[in-house]
Structure 1
């Protein structure tokens, strides 16, 4: 069939095909690197309101003061119902897990003081995470340090 077409038509058809394949590959790569998360709670007020949407860069933990999206543990058990997917969770269906937006307040080696007890050092592979609205936030004040492999990624932009 291609032998019946002139060279210009074949060149255009091949160029269009390459563009479509390239665009699909780019979108696939972006989807594996970035995800949109909708804010549902009040723990990060006034920075974020329920219904706000943020773009999260998977697999990245910002420096102290930055914001992360971390998998929500069971409040009753102070544990997670499923195994950790690993930092960034590229193979995990984000919609099937529950997420929290928190601010990084401590990294491994930092010392934090729990509400009752002696100061504790943030262990390797963990983060001390806080919500901006302390009265309504379930965070490291109740949970202790969060496992870093429960982090989906860092908030990079609000939509």
Structure 2
């Protein structure tokens, strides 16, 4: 084997690890706002995606700059996207948006809810900025 092949063979695993880490992150759910879908302590695999790729129904990871977590701890907020830009504003499901002037969710915003009815989310805080999106939950890990 030539030196070039040995160097390539050594670089491939490091490159693969970098590629995986640049596209995925493992997060531990903290809190019960996503019960029964995810319990506290569950680990989930999150794929980093652009905000434009989020669809209504996706479970997303938002940066902790979101209003619900100010003063909280952890990497971010795990919630379900109820409505994305261009979707009708879900006034009946989200009281904080009852007086919204828009008929559709504005660009750069998303409506987030926890699966548990007692969750702190858009029902209290209204829209969340899509700029805080870190990724979409792909699956629960064993």
Compute the TM-score of the two structures, normalised by the length of structure 1.
Answer: 0.73
Please report how far the alpha carbon of residue 15 of structure 1 lies from its aligned counterpart in structure 2 after TM superposition. Answer: 2.5
Paired residues of 2:67 and 2:125 also in contact (CA < 8 A): no
* Residue 89 of structure 2 corresponds to residue 106 of structure 1: no
Q: Which runs of 5+ in 2 are unaligned?
A: none
Deviation track 1:46-82 (CA, whole Å, cap 9, x = no partner) reads: 000111101100124432111100123344xx8x68x
**CA separation of 1:20/1:58 partners in 2, compared to 1, >3 Å: closer, same or farther?**
same
Paired residues of 1:71 and 1:97 also in contact (CA < 8 A): no
Compute the TM-score of the two structures, normalised by the length of structure 2.
Answer: 0.81
Matches within 5 A, 1:9-158: 11=2, 13-60=3-50, 61-72=53-64, 73-75=66-68, 98-109=75-86, 110-113=88-91, 114-115=94-95, 117-119=98-100, 120=102, 121-135=104-118, 137-158=119-140
Compare CA radii of gyration and give the structure with the larger one.
Answer: 1
Q: Which runs of 5+ in 1 are unaligned?
A: 1-7, 82-95
Distance 1:33 1:18 in 2: 22
Paired residues of 2:44 and 2:140 also in contact (CA < 8 A): yes
